[in-house]
Amino acid sequence: MKLIPLGILGSGKGSNCRAILESIRSGALAAEVRVVISDVFDAPILDIAREFSIPNAYLTPGKFHTRLEPQAEAELVRMLREANVELVVLAGFMRILKSPMLEEFPRRIVNIHPSLLPKFPGLEAWRQALEAGEKITGCTVHYVDEQIDHGRVIGQREVPILPNDTPETLHARIQIAERELYPAVIAAFARKYQAS
C-alpha cells in the first residue's frame, strides 16, 4: 500500500500529533510520519514523536515571535524536502509560514483551528466564541496561506456550546472533535495520493 508521507510541525503538547500517529498505528490512516519538527526545544510533541519512534528535530526559530526567520524557514523547507514529505500537517504550530514554505508545498500544508472558520481566527478561538454568545462552535481543517487562519476550508466539525460551559470545558470538547476530524481529513488526502 502506498502511504502518504507526512511532516508534522508543532509548538506544544502534540495531542493532534498523537491522534494522527494512533490513527496510523490502528490502520485507519494510510500515512507515514517521516518527521516531527518543533520550534520549541522541549515541546511535548517531540516526546510523542520519540514514543512512536518517529524522527524528530528542533528548529531554531530565530528572534521573531510569530514567524520564522528567513534562514530558519529555508532550513525547515530543507528538512521536509530531505524527508520526502508530501503533506505538511500543522499541529499547534504557532508561527506564520511565508513564501519559502508556501511555494515549496503549494496546497500541501494544512492546519487545524478551534473554531468554525471564518469565524474567530487567532488565539483562544473557543473563548472568543463563548464571549460572543455563540450557540455552536467547532473546529476547521484548512489550507495554509499567507494570512492567519484564512486558507480554503477542507473540513469542519461542529461542537455545541452548553449553557454551563467555561472556556476550559468548551476547549476540551473542541479538542476531542479535532482529534477525530484531523485524521479523517488526512485520510482523504491519503486516498487521493494512493490513486495518483
- For residue 113, indicate whether it is catalytic: yes
Nearest-CA neighbor of 18 among 56, 44, 55, 57? 44
Does residue 172 fall inside a structural domain? no
- For the record, the C-alpha cell of 106 comes out as 503549494
Which pLDDT tens digit goes with each residue over 67-116?
999 999 999 999 999 999 999 999 999 999 999 999 999 999 999 999 99
Place of cell 472556556: 167
- For the record, the C-alpha cell of 22 comes out as 494512533
Which pLDDT tens digit goes with each residue over 43-79?
999 999 999 999 999 999 999 989 999 999 999 999 9
Does residue 166 fall inside a structural domain? no
Q: Hey, how many other C-beta atoms are within 10 angstroms of the C-beta on 153?
A: 14
Does residue 163 fall inside a structural domain? no
Q: Which of 65, 113, 142, 171 is catalytic?
A: 113
Does residue 147 fall inside a structural domain? yes
**How far is Cα 182 from Cα 125, in angstroms, rounded to an integer?**
17
Contact 33, 24 (CB under 8 A): yes
Nearest-CA neighbor of 183 among 81, 110, 120? 110
Does residue 176 fall inside a structural domain? no
- For the record, the C-alpha cell of 19 comes out as 491522534
The model carries a pTM of 0.96
Which pLDDT tens digit goes with each residue over 155-192?
999 999 999 999 999 999 999 999 999 999 999 999 99
pLDDT given for residue 1 in this prediction: 85
Does residue 41 fall inside a structural domain? yes
Residue ranges in the chain assigned as alpha helix (H): 15-26, 44-51, 70-82, 99-104, 125-131, 167-195
* CATH number assigned to the domain comprising residue 187: 3.40.50.170
* CA 157 vs CA 5, 138, 143, 174: distances in Å: 25, 6, 16, 9
Give the chain's domain count.
Answer: 1
